[in-house]
Amino acid sequence: MSRRKIVISACLLGENVKYDGGNNALHVKILEQWKDEGVLVPLCPEVLGGLSVPRLACEVLQGTNRVVNRIGEDVSEAFSKGAKESLRIAKLEGVCMAILKARSPSCGKDIIYDGTFTSTRVNDSGITCKLLQESGIVVFSEEELSLAEAFWHSKGNAPL
């Protein structure tokens, strides 16, 4: 039987896919272990949706599923496409959980920016995060790695 896998925001593994062309690399033991074990499935929903690197900063308009960039262009279609492609890959890979970038308009879990580009945070989740959760995939942010590790092991996924 093949092992279950973990979707992870590619920027957290050092891939330069952030809107500004950078990354959010985390250098922590558990991610290195999972990488070595081959259970991580890195992806960037925004790139999968056809957005470029770099690109203008984007935010979800509060209370909607509409996403706009800093100059007001509606980029919702790209975010929706990226979320759907992320889910397709997750299902194909047998993913049971995801570790996504906090506060991202795609990946943010529970807290994202409100769409005004004023650094105002609201209680909501990003487009991809919502879709993965609705499909039964358990989502953690990179700020919840200890919870993610406990969940992973509770599902019988012992280190190789």
Q: What's the domain range around 46? A: 5-154
Give, for all 160 residues of the chain, the pLDDT tens digit. Answer: 356 999 999 999 999 999 999 999 999 999 999 999 999 999 999 999 999 999 999 999 999 999 999 999 999 999 999 999 999 999 999 999 999 999 999 999 999 999 999 999 999 999 999 999 999 999 999 999 999 999 999 987 755 4
Cα–Cα dist 33/26, whole Å: 13
Cα–Cα dist 61/95, whole Å: 29
pLDDT at 156: 77
Would residue 159 count as lying in a domain? no
Cβ partners under 8 Å of residue 22, min gap 6: 11, 16
Q: For 81, which DSSP code?
A: H
- First vs last C-alpha separation in the chain: 14
Would residue 35 count as lying in a domain? yes
- What's the pTM value of the predicted model, to 2 decimals? 0.95
Give the tokens for residue 44.
Answer: 């960037």
Would residue 79 count as lying in a domain? yes
Number of domains in the chain: 1
pLDDT at 142: 98
Angle at which helices 29-37 and 145-154 pack, to 10 degrees?
Answer: 40
Would residue 160 count as lying in a domain? no
Cα–Cα dist 45/48, whole Å: 5
Would residue 109 count as lying in a domain? yes
Q: Length of the chain, please?
A: 160
Give the tokens for residue 41.
Answer: 């499935």
Question: Given the DSSP bridges, would you call strands 95-100 and 40-43 parallel, antiparallel or unpaired?
Answer: unpaired
Give the tokens for residue 137.
Answer: 């995939």
